[in-house]
Amino acid sequence: MPPSEEYVESVLSLVEQIPPGRVMSYGAIADWVGRGGPRQVGAVMALYGGGVAWWRVVRADGTLPDSHTGRAREAYLEEGTPMRGALADRPRVDIRRAAWFPDAS
DNA sequence: GGTGTGACGCAGG
DNA sequence: CCCTGCGCCACAC
């Protein structure tokens, strides 16, 4: 069984609010929606994240899933997302500068 | 009930 | 920087 429709909606709608150049971690999203955990958020993104800015959802340490690092780099360059080692083969978002929360614009 | 599995998180070594 | 181990939530077997 896939996650409930409401849960999927609450997660995706939150992801859609993340401004360009900013990111949220799986755990932060889970805390904000108040249901499930980081792994549930990850499951939602894996199944239904294709329609949103999935590259703005990263791990708490700023890294991304290996399969997405390559495709995300171009988006990061365009949006000017703060990164560490932008030119390295393993790009890493500077989570401390790029982290975003709904109430903090 | 028990076990395994994840687009995870965090503390240790 | 690397690798482990354990906690975590929900689900499938």
Taking each helix axis from N to C end, the angle separating A38-48 and A26-33, rounded to the nearest 10 degrees, works out to: 100
Q: Consecutive 10-residue runs of chain A (105 residues): their mean pLDDT?
A: 83 98 98 96 95 97 90 94 88 95 84
Separation CA A45–CA A58 (nearest Å): 11
Q: A81 to each of A16, A40, A56, A102, how far by Cα in Å?
A: 16, 25, 9, 17
User: Which residue has the closest alpha carbon to B7 C1'?
Assistant: A42
Query: Strand B positions with any atom < 7 Å from protein CB?
Result: 6-10
User: Which residue has the closest alpha carbon to B9 C1'?
Assistant: A60
Q: How far is the CA of A58 from the C1' of C6 (A)?
A: 22
Q: How far is the CA of A10 from the C1' of C8 (A)?
A: 20
Write down the pLDDT at residue A55.
Answer: 97
Write down the pLDDT at residue A8.
Answer: 96
Separation CA A50–CA A84 (nearest Å): 26
Asked if A49 CB < 7 A from strand B, the reply is: yes
Query: Strand, helix or coil at A70?
Result: helix
Asked if A11 CB < 7 A from strand B, the reply is: no
Write down the pLDDT at residue A91.
Answer: 85
Write down the pLDDT at residue A70.
Answer: 87
Write down the pLDDT at residue A16.
Answer: 98
What pTM does this model have?
0.94
